[in-house]
Amino acid sequence: MAKLNDILSPFTAWKHVVREPVTIKDPLNREAADRYRGFHKNDISECIGCGTCESICQNAAIDLVPVEGVDTKDGDSGLRPRVDYGRCCWCGLCVDVCTTNSLSLSNEYTWVDEDPDSFRFVPGAENKSWDNREKGYKKPGNGYELYNPKREAMEELEPEKRDQSFIEIVQGYSKEQAEQEADRCVECGICVATCPAHMGIPEYIKAIRNDDLNEGLRVLYDTNPLPEICGRICTHKCETVCSVGHHGDPLSIRWLKRYIADQNPAEEYKKILNTENLQPTGKKVAIIGSGPSGLSAAHYLALMGYQCTIYEKLPAAGGMMRFGIPEYRLPYEQLDKDINYILSLGVEIKYNVTIGKDITLEELHNQYDAVFSGTGLHMGRSTRVPGTDHPKVYQAVDLLRDIVLGKEVPVEENIVVIGGGNVAMDITRSLARLQKQKYGKVGVLATSLESEDIMPADREEVIEAREENAVIDPGWGPVEIETEGDKLKGLHVVKCVSVFDENRRFAPKFDEEQKKFFPADMVVESIGQGMDLSYLPEAFKEQLDMDQRGRILVNDDFQTSAGWLFAGGDIIQGPDVIHGIANGHKAAMGIDKYLSEK
């Protein structure tokens, strides 16, 4: 028998009859919450088309597509994400992982259209009503990161332990450090396009993560036969465009490359790289200069079976890598590790041979099937301000070469270096070390036209130079080197207010009112280098296609108008080791094409 209460109690429901309905009258115009994950927005001026959003999307709802008005350039693929709302599940992981924070979701959630194709669109490129909505889902703050934005610190010698010697500063990564740094990579490949050699950067970084360093070495050697060298002194254009660097520290690609090369023993290279049994073609190639382009060309030609002979003017191989870069940045043993492997492939180097003097270009042409020239930029340029003809004014490249050759280098107590590039920093820091050895103190100052923010030297070079007690005082233009007989008094400078004109052409402007005087006993000029093509006979030069500035013109295969002569490296596209390596590689393929068709 039911209780009376159980019969009456349900009538309580009737009290709600007079209650105001809670139904939303116009649900399409209900504003969503501030964080709502609605339709996509993308600031395409910030986006670099790295494709990380595409790679995280498990629904394959995002494709990277070309967009009108967006060009491919360094650090920007020129592509932009297109979202397909037939696939998107609005999880928002694309927003969380976006390396530039350009992608977000508006809190708009209604979209009516008769055309189903319209629901596949490129946010930011196709105007939508929600583009200017402030509200919506954005990447959370409070340390919320899907990858680590902080770079794994590199251990370096303390300034006080390094400022008297030329021992290597950078210590290199341990296995754990390398794997943690490699873990930060988002595999976007933006770096590959920017690297002149188009190295397989994501692949070798992946090899580190997989602890497969043999595979890493194979990837390195696909495009770069000087990994120990590049792993130390490459200008790492890849890092300047690294997508992780937009909101964090760029990946330490250079040190990771070095880690792979360091961990693979030299005696196993041929086995790992499967170069124990190369098949000779019977053809011979002469290479002038053993710098990065010459060594690179020799390496790839040797792999293809060509007998290569390198003619080197100096008593050791490496070109500017050995005679321009101080040992504290690039130890000779590491340089030799790369070079010796190339020699092990059958490449021969004839040292102390000057082309045009010991052997002529014509003789090379007659003795070999093709010739490659990568003679580099070994001649220092002068500011030509009054006083530069004084005997205590030197060229940086000459001093750096003399240090390597073990010659006695003049070192005064007060030195001024003119220049703000890497060579200027190299000579500044080298002289600082020599001063410390000789006088127990450092008295070197480097000044440049460029202000600190646009100095061409790598940032770490400037920082480390200061740590070693060198003074860097940028933003000044040299006016005159004051001398008094045999003595050099110092350098007069005026303020440089701008270096380039509106067309980015070199056109420095000065404020003559702002003057400074840097006292010095010795001045070193380091404002760039020039090439020495004196080994080319004048008659031959006249036949060769050259530009107005006297540079040899080459085609895409780095072949000159002479046909049998190829050229690359700094004299064509420098000054940069990685450009030289890339040139050498392309030239090797060009020579192979030329000789195959011959």
Instruction: Specify the stretch interacting with another protein by CB under 8 A; choose among 13-21, 163-171, 383-391, 494-502.
Output: 13-21
- Sign of the CA dihedral 213, 214, 219, 223? positive
Of the candidates 340, 351, 275, the one whose C-alpha atom is nearest the C-alpha of residue 309 is: 351
Q: Which of 39, 121, 130, 137 is the binder for another protein (CB under 8 A)?
A: 137
Number of H helices and E strands in the chain, helices first, is 22, 21
510 binds another protein (CB under 8 A): no
DSSP percent split of the chain into helix, strand, coil, nearest 5: 35, 20, 45
Q: What is the DSSP letter of 63?
A: E
- Write each residue from 191 to 230 as x if it is in contact with another protein (CB under 8 A), else as -, in one continuous string: ---------------x--x---------------------
Minimum gap (Å) between residue 58 Cβ and another protein: 4
Residue among 136 and 294 whose Cβ is closer to another protein: 136
Q: Which of 12, 277, 503, 548 is the binder for another protein (CB under 8 A)?
A: 12
Structure tokens at 136: 């919506």
How many positions of this chain bind another protein (CB under 8 A)? 47
Of the candidates 209, 159, 203, 174, the one whose C-alpha atom is nearest the C-alpha of residue 429 is: 159
Coil vs helix vs strand at 120: strand
Of the candidates 257, 435, 246, the one whose C-alpha atom is nearest the C-alpha of residue 338 is: 257
Query: Which is it for strands 370-373 and 284-288: parallel, antiparallel or unpaired?
Result: parallel
Minimum gap (Å) between residue 450 Cβ and another protein: 36
10 binds another protein (CB under 8 A): yes
- Write each residue from 139 to 158 as x if it is in contact with another protein (CB under 8 A), else as -, in one continuous string: -x-xxxxxxx----------
Backbone angles phi, psi at 492, to 5 degrees: -95, 135
Q: How far is it, in rounded angstroms, from Cα 233 to Cα 170? A: 11
In 234-390, where does DSSP find H-type helix? 237-241, 253-263, 269-272, 292-303, 320-323, 332-344, 361-367
Structure tokens at 270: 């041929």
Coil vs helix vs strand at 257: helix
Residue among 33 and 553 whose Cβ is closer to another protein: 33
Minimum gap (Å) between residue 127 Cβ and another protein: 24
Residue among 137 and 221 whose Cβ is closer to another protein: 137
Residue among 50 and 442 whose Cβ is closer to another protein: 50
Q: How far is it, in rounded angstroms, from Cα 65 to Cα 468? A: 49
- Residues 538-557 within binding reach of another protein (CB under 8 A): none
Instruction: Specify the stretch interacting with another protein by CB under 8 A; choose among 181-189, 277-285, 488-496, 528-536.
Output: 181-189
- Residues 66-125 within binding reach of another protein (CB under 8 A): 89-93, 96-97, 105
How many angstroms separate the Cα of 568 from the Cα of each of 343, 362, 372, 542? 20, 19, 8, 19
**Is the previous residue joined to 250 through a cis bond, with omega within 30 degrees of 0?**
no
Backbone angles phi, psi at 499, to 5 degrees: -105, -35
Residue among 93 and 353 whose Cβ is closer to another protein: 93
Residue among 93 and 278 whose Cβ is closer to another protein: 93
Cβ–Cβ contacts within 10 Å for residue 226, how many?
Answer: 32
- Write each residue from 18 to 47 as x if it is in contact with another protein (CB under 8 A), else as -, in one continuous string: ----x---------xxxxxx----------
The answer to whether 231 and 255 have CB atoms below 8 angstroms apart is yes
- Write each residue from 355 to 394 as x if it is in contact with another protein (CB under 8 A), else as -, in one continuous string: ----------------------------------------
Residue among 188 and 442 whose Cβ is closer to another protein: 188
- Residues 46-65 within binding reach of another protein (CB under 8 A): 52, 55-56, 58-59
Contact residues for another protein, defined by CB under 8 A? 2-3, 5-7, 9-10, 12-13, 15-16, 22, 32-37, 52, 55-56, 58-59, 89-93, 96-97, 105, 137, 140, 142-148, 183-187, 206, 209
